[in-house]
Amino acid sequence: MEQITDTPKRPHHGKNIKRIREFFGVKQEAFAKQLGPDWSQGKVSSLEDKETIEPEILELAAKALNVTPTILANTTEEMATNFFNNYNFHEGSANQGAVGNNHSPITFNPLDKLMEVVGKNEALYEQLLKVEREKNELLERLLKKQ
């Protein structure tokens, strides 16, 4: 029987880089060119296999992909899967803004939108907890009066 835990899985930096690179339709060779002259397709492939990547390299990769380093460092597999499964892509939008092509740049970062939604969900949850506590306090006061 599979055991369910509440412990979130750690982010895999290399998979995050690969996921975003592929989202933008960028090949490893083109990404290597974006990273600089010291990079090759093979070196990018090795990078994408690494679970933990040094902050300087994350920063370089984030700049090349036009995302924040925080997204590469903190996105978990579950967050990314939920985002890509639930996001309503319009025809052709997945390739817009890809590094190294002639398409118009996208006007937003999809993972930034994901983090924004996560923040809104947390705020709504906190509001719900506050209302529930107030309701419980009111019920307790009413019961004490009887």
pLDDT of amino acid 98: 40
17's CB contacts (< 8 A; 6+ apart) are: 47, 48, 53, 61, 65, 72
Give the integer Cα–Cα distance in Å for 64 and 38: 14
| Segment 85-113, tens digit of pLDDT | 666 554 444 444 444 444 444 566 777 78
- Measured CA to CA, the distance from residue 105 to residue 117 in angstroms comes to 22
pLDDT of residue 104: 46
* Domains observed in the chain: 13-106 (1.10.260.40)
